[in-house]
Amino acid sequence: MITLLLIFFPLLAAFLVLLTKGEQAKKIALLASVVEFAISIYALCNFNADATTQFGFNAPWVASLGISFHVGIDGISMLMVLLTTFLVPVIILSSFKTNYKNPGLFYALVLSMQMALIGVFVSLDGFLFYVFWELALIPIYFICLLWGGENRAKITFKFFVYTLAGSLFMLAGLIYLYQQTEQGNSSFDIDALYQAGRNMTPTQQGFIFWAMFIAFAIKMPIFPFHTWQPDTYTVAPTQGTMLLSGIMLKMGTYGVIRWLIVLVPQGVQNWSGVAITLSVIGIVYASCIAIVQKDFKRLIAYSSIAHVGLIAAGIFAFNAQGMQGALIQMLSHGVNVVGMFFIVDLIQSRTNTREISALGGIRNVNPQFAVLFLIILLGSVALPLTNGFVGEFLLLNGLFQYNPYMTAFAGLSVILGAVYMLRSYQSIMLGETNAITASFTSLETSEKAVLIIICAAVILFGVYPKPLLDIAAPAVNQLLGS
């Protein structure tokens, strides 16, 4: 039942928020998301870290077609749910200084997006998974369309069509699998689909692999399916970008873990080389492009492609280190990227520019901001003792076991990441204060709170990541064993 509560509480809150006006909407939304976080913590306390699926709920939905409302939480889902419930309050809090027009609708969309995201992470029925997957797209589309920046109609539309195209191929793949389940008793249940997937010939599995992989690759995004991403991230309002990069991107990586590598093992085995190659190309390519970016938000967008490429490569390497690393990195990337986009927002709201070269010397004006920025930045370049390091190290380790040469290329991401991140820090924060940055005002309480929460997470899970690893370890082992 607690799973149902986790899914539907945000929806309920969304309706409530929709009815409120102005300042109140923010507060109620924040309160609701904190309550949701508390519920997930409660779930965590009652969660046994073993390989089983817990808090399950299974009821027929479209019984005549073998579709059921089947949800449940295992270690992997637990981490994803926690990430979502942790980030949404942070994201809402980060918007406290921004005055969006029509705030009731804005926060209602954010909360309904949360519902869909949690639904994706706990679904154990192919059809249900697809419905939540698509459902997540609608709120974010409207968030970007209504509150986005310049030229948003065109860019958000491209984003919508891109992801919808991927999803429709996934739907075709799922229906095909459904058709292969037991005759006369076809079912979308995850176990039935796993069974059907395994019984298929390698060629069939290959087709399913591609149908599903394209959907996930577009969502993450992996090179060459990434072209929607930099524009969309840049044009979306800050909170929209945070939702996209912090959580929605993880739908893709989660999808690969839950709905691809176990679903069609033979297909994955045949094609994982291609998938890893694409991921590694994406890492190097996106890092190189990030280096030459002039717009700081766009730079972060490209860095996100590089990071997610490494996560995907680690998953497809299909060993314990890679998988664990991917999970940890999904969490830390979620936290760090939200922090980075918040910093972009802070800078932009104070200086009206995101141009790296136009800024400089902010540290002289606001040293406090400089420290917090530095911590998040170090987390995202994966310095030891930050959360980024744990994940990245495990990922590279996992990939090394798969192929050392690939790892050499993928490892470039660490170096190149340091190049573009530290360089931009240098030109934004250090040096002489100029006319634009001279008036960089001190941080408001809510802004400080967001940065401190994120910095705390960066350091805490960098120093002591064991609890997170423990939650997922049994589930990961089972995944790899099956």
**Both tokens assigned to 206:** 């290959």
Residue 65 in the binding site for other proteins (CB under 8 A)? yes
Residue whose CB is less far from other proteins, 147 or 369: 147
**Both tokens assigned to 342:** 């918040």
Query: Cβ neighbours of residue 155 under 8 Å, at least 6 residues apart?
Result: 144, 148, 228, 231, 232, 235
x/- contact string, 171-190, with other proteins (CB under 8 A)? xx--xx-xx-----------
Residue 12 in the binding site for other proteins (CB under 8 A)? no
- For tokens 């190290």, name the residue: 393
Measured in whole angstroms, how far is the alpha carbon of residue 403 from the centre of its chain? 26
**Both tokens assigned to 382:** 């994966």
Residue 271 in the binding site for other proteins (CB under 8 A)? no
Residue whose CB is less far from other proteins, 129 or 373: 129
Torsional class of 361: left (φ above 0), alpha (ψ -120 to 50), beta (otherwise): left
DSSP notation for 314-350: HHHH-SHHHHHHHHHHHHHHHHHHHHHHHHHHHHHHH
Residue 58 in the binding site for other proteins (CB under 8 A)? no
Q: Where in 136-165 is the site for other proteins (CB under 8 A)?
A: 137-138, 142, 145-146, 152-153, 157, 160-161, 164-165
Residue 63 in the binding site for other proteins (CB under 8 A)? yes
Closest CA to 389 of 381, 397, 377, 399: 381
Residue 131 in the binding site for other proteins (CB under 8 A)? yes
Residue among 11, 44, 52, 134 that touches other proteins (CB under 8 A)? 134
Q: How many angstroms separate the Cα of 64 from the Cα of each of 68, 279, 361?
A: 10, 41, 66
Residue 295 in the binding site for other proteins (CB under 8 A)? no
In terms of residues, how long is the chain? 482
Residue 57 in the binding site for other proteins (CB under 8 A)? no
Residue whose CB is less far from other proteins, 39 or 135: 135
Cα–Cα distance for residue pair 359/351, rounded to 1 Å: 8
Residue 130 in the binding site for other proteins (CB under 8 A)? yes
Residue whose CB is less far from other proteins, 165 or 383: 165
Query: Nearest approach, Cβ of 370 to other proteins (angstroms)?
Result: 38
**Burial grade of 393 (CB within 10 A; 0-12, 13-18, 19 or more):** middle
Query: Nearest approach, Cβ of 160 to other proteins (angstroms)?
Result: 7
Cα–Cα distance for residue pair 167/213, rounded to 1 Å: 10
Binding-site residue total for other proteins (CB under 8 A)? Answer: 31
Residue among 168, 365, 383, 480 that touches other proteins (CB under 8 A)? 168
- Chain positions contacting other proteins, by CB under 8 A: 60-65, 127, 130-131, 134-135, 137-138, 142, 145-146, 152-153, 157, 160-161, 164-165, 168-169, 171-172, 175-176, 178-179
